[in-house]
Amino acid sequence: MQLYVEARVRADLDLLWLRTQDPAHHRRWDLRFTHIDHLARAEGEPQRFRYGVRLLPGLLVSGTGIAAGEKRRPDGTRTSALRFASPHPLSPIAQGRGYWRYIPDGDGIRFLTGYDYEPRWGRPGRIADRFVLRPLMGWATAWSFDRLRLWCERGVTPERSLRHALAEVAARALAIAVAAAVAPPAAVPVAIAAAWLPPSRHTPAARRCLRRPPERGAAT
């Protein structure tokens, strides 16, 4: 059940590294978080961080994490691993671990992640995770990776790409509503077309990312 997402980013490795490792950049493109900040540390200690999602004004579901390791190989690949946990009773995720890998490949970088976690709330939580949370987390990760790709490749800022996405959703919903009001039988095919029509090149799309490892054992 480990989640896996991979995007091909045609950008400089150092730029991609900065925008994924620096919390000030990370929280701009990652849909899964509204807050990510490094915590103070003494010399020689591993880096700890705090993350959170603001569900409502005044309600922040937060947790903490630690950089579990970082490796840079002579072939140019880089790997960053982490562990995270949240004691907040409203967090559906109790604890987990994951990694990011950066693999130079031709004119781009294979940027990929694999992560897993333990859901909270016992059996009901495991059921909700399997059918709701885990698919949603996979989609949000892929959408965010494509949002990052647009920022690195085309200079489309995360804020601008979000506006593009919201505008496209509104346009597709309007098309369905107009079809339902003017010609109800056409509403179904219009809805299908709206769902499958490719997004514009400036709009993030989870469908552009791989959701399974292209080669056996890659996730491990």
What CATH code is carried by the domain that includes residue 100?
A: 3.30.530.20
Specify whether 34 is located in the same domain as 100. Answer: yes
Residues 110 and 97 in one domain: yes
Tell me which of 182 and 215 has the higher pLDDT.
Answer: 182
pLDDT at res. 162: 96
Least confident span in 38-42, 72-76, 185-189, 213-217: 213-217
* Whole-number average pLDDT of the chain: 91
pLDDT of residue 218: 58
- The pLDDT value given to residue 219: 54
Residue 102 lies in a domain: yes
pTM score, two decimals?
0.90
Q: Is 217's pLDDT higher than 80? A: no
* Residues 107 and 130 occupy one common structural domain: yes
Q: How confident is the model at residue 157 (pLDDT cuts 50, 70, 90)?
A: very high
Question: What pLDDT sits at residue 186?
Answer: 83
Q: Do the domain assignments include residue 146?
A: yes
Same domain, 67 and 90: yes
Give yes or no: residues 10 and 25 share one domain: yes
Statement to judge: residues 69 and 83 lie in one domain: yes
Report the pLDDT averaged over residues 164-171: 94
pLDDT value for 216: 67
Minimum mean pLDDT among 7-11, 27-31, 193-197: which range? Answer: 193-197
138: left (phi over 0), alpha (psi -120 to 50) or beta: alpha
Q: Is 188 within a domain?
A: yes
Domain encompassing residue 182: 157-201
User: Would 54 be classed as within a structural domain?
Assistant: yes
In a domain, 218, yes or no: no
Residue 83 CA to residue 137 CA, distance in Å, equals: 17
Do 102 and 121 belong together in one domain? yes
Number of domains in the chain: 2
Q: Spell out the residues 6+ positions from residue 44 whose beta carbon is closer than 8 angstroms to its own.
A: none
**Is the same domain home to 69 and 16?**
yes
Q: What percent of the chain has pLDDT over 90?
A: 71
Query: For residue 66, what are its two tokens?
Result: 């630690």
